[in-house]
Structures are given as structure tokens and as C-alpha cells.
Amino acid sequence: MPLSVNEQKKTGQMREVWHRLVRNKTAMVGLIVISLLILMSVFAPLIVSYDSVRETNAEEKYQPPSAEHPFGTDDMGRDYFARIVYGGRASLSIGFICVAVAMSIGLILGASAAYFSGAADSIIMRIMDVLSCIPSILLALVIVAALGPGLVNLIIAITISTVPTFTRVIRASVLPIVGQDFIEAARACGTRHPRIVLRHILPNAMGPIIVQATMALSQIIIAAAGLSFIGMGIQPPAPEWGAMLSNARTYIMTSPYLIIFPGIFIVLAALSLNLLGDGLRDALDPRLRD
């Protein structure tokens, strides 16, 4: 079935964005690195058995990196490579879940504020102003302190602290589109509000939203690691990069590899996402098109 004119136009725009992204070497490095980290997390059971994460061996404690244990062993004799691999699954999962939920809530609030304006806009944005007055990491810390440490509470806390940013970005992206002639034409035809927003407005505002999601994912991974580092996130013995950093503080002088490896992976994940986000921003910016 042949594509419609609009579908052909969108396909052409996507190809143009992809070609611009491919020409950005730093963005492609970021894409490759984060893709490898995601593949490592998804296929973790094929890389190393989960039993290696839990099995302790007092005779193999503090072993430096070797052929048998590429990243060495920790204070309980557990294979550190296995814990890094499965820790990535936890850290990246938290990031993607928080971004997905926060972006969904932000889409509803931001699009509603921009589309309906008036009282709805004032109420929604004043609530976002109140939440924005508190630094996001501090707000997440307060929420997780009230709810208690743990994976679910960590996700709830980081999601709530991320919603104001998404709401503001989405509102700013939707506002210029709401007043366009094709939106007025859709209203005149009697099209329902949800269909107008989902079918006509959001597809034309996805560029800044995608960039924000990529940047937020990097920030959330760091925030989750930071909260776990101070004991307010995922609790031992579950592997998570931030919690592993916290546990390794005691052995920084005697076994520095225990803090080096999780630190490297946190930096790689955050840096690769930032590089990819910068590349997406440039590729999606119409002012930078050749």
C-alpha cells in the first residue's frame, strides 16, 4: 500500500535527521556506547550466571582482576564482573522506567496546559513552579526518605522530581503549534480534543521532547546512583552501581578496583547519553539544517 503524502514527508524528515545524526561522530560514539551497555544489561544471563552475583567465597575475597575474575572479587568473594553486569541492568532499568513514567505524566500535564490555557495552564504551571523551587535531587531525597529505601520508592521519588522539567519542556514545545491554522481547522471540523493533541500536536513537538528524554535519562542514572550511594536507594546485596560505590568506599586504599569499575560504568552511561542528546538536539534543530 503506497504511503500518503504526509507519511512520505515524515519518512523523509526522519531520514534527514538520521543522516545528520550519523555525521555527528561524538553522537554516534554515544549511541554505540549506550547501545552496548543496554545489550549488556538485556543479555546479562547469557554473559554471566546470576549465581555469580550471590555466591560468596571467603577464600577469594579482595582478589584483583584476573583471567578468572576480570574485575576481581569484592569483600565477600563475589565475582565483581557479574555484579557490574547485573548492576547495569538495575541502573539502566531505573532510568528508562523513570523517564517513561515522567514523560507520560509530563505529556498529559504540559499538553493540557498549553492546549486549554487559561485556568488549566495557571493551575498546572503553579504546581510545577512549587516543585521546581526544590532542586530535583533534594526533592527525590526528601520523598525517598519519607517513603523508605527500596527500588519502587526510588523510582517514585525520582519520577516525581523529574515531572516538572518534562512538563515545562512539553508545554513550551506545544504552545507554538496550538495556534497554527491546521489546529484551528481540526477544531472547526469537530475533531475531539484528545485526537487533536495526539494526532496533530504531539507528533510535531516530539523533537525537543526526545532530546529532553535523553538528557533526563543521564541525570536519572546519576541521581539513582547517588541515592543508592548514601543508602537511600537499592539495598545490598542487590547489585547496583551506586550501591557498589558506597560499599567500596571502605576499601578505596586497599582494593581501588572496587570503586573504579562501577565509577567507570556510571560515567560511561551518563557521558554517552549526554553526547547522544547533544547530537539529537543538533539533528532535530531546523535552524542547523544544511
Between 56 and 288, the more confident residue is 56
Cell of 43: 543479555
Task: Decide: helix, strand or coil at residue 79.
Answer: strand
DSSP state of 197: I
Q: What is the pLDDT of residues 122-169, one digit of tens each?
A: 999 999 999 888 888 888 889 998 888 888 899 999 999 999 999 999
In this predicted model, which residue has the larger pLDDT, 182 or 100? 100
In this prediction, residues 82-105 reach a mean pLDDT of 92
Asked if pLDDT for residue 37 goes beyond 90, the answer is: yes
User: Which of 286, 215, 290 lies closest to 27, judged by CA?
Assistant: 215
pLDDT band at 4 (very low <50, low <70, confident <90, very high): low
Instruction: Round to whole Å and give the CA distance between 237 and 181.
Output: 58
Average pLDDT value over all residues in the chain: 86
- Can you tell me the mean pLDDT for 271-289? 79
pLDDT band at 6 (very low <50, low <70, confident <90, very high): low
Structure confidence at residue 177 as a pLDDT band (50, 70, 90): confident
For residue 132, how many C-alpha atoms fall within 13 Å in the half-sphere facing its CB?
A: 13
User: In terms of Cα–Cα distance, which of 133, 98, 136, 122 is closest to 171?
Assistant: 122
Q: Which residues pair with 73 in a beta bridge?
A: 79
Q: Is the dihedral of CA 108, 109, 111, 116 positive or negative?
A: positive
Q: For the chain, which domains are there?
A: 40-48+76-288 (1.10.3720.10)
- Do the beta carbons of residue 280 and residue 131 sit within 8 Å? no
Cα torsion for 160, 115, 215, 258, to the nearest 10°?
20
Least confident among 5-14, 126-135, 275-284: 5-14
pTM of the model: 0.86
pLDDT of residue 268: 94
pLDDT in tens, 190-237: 778 788 888 878 887 888 888 889 999 999 999 999 988 888 888 878
Q: What is the pLDDT of residues 261-276, one digit of tens each?
A: 999 999 999 999 999 9
Window from 47-51, 66-70, 182-186 with minimum mean pLDDT = 182-186
CA distance 83 to 90: 10
Gap between the Cα atoms of 52 and 197, Å rounded: 49
State yes or no: pLDDT of 53 exceeds 50. Answer: yes
Q: How many CB atoms lie within 10 A of CB 24?
A: 18
**pLDDT for position 1:** 47
261 is written with which cell numbers? 569499575
Please give the pLDDT value at position 155: 92
Q: What percentage of residues in the chain have a pLDDT greater than 70?
A: 93
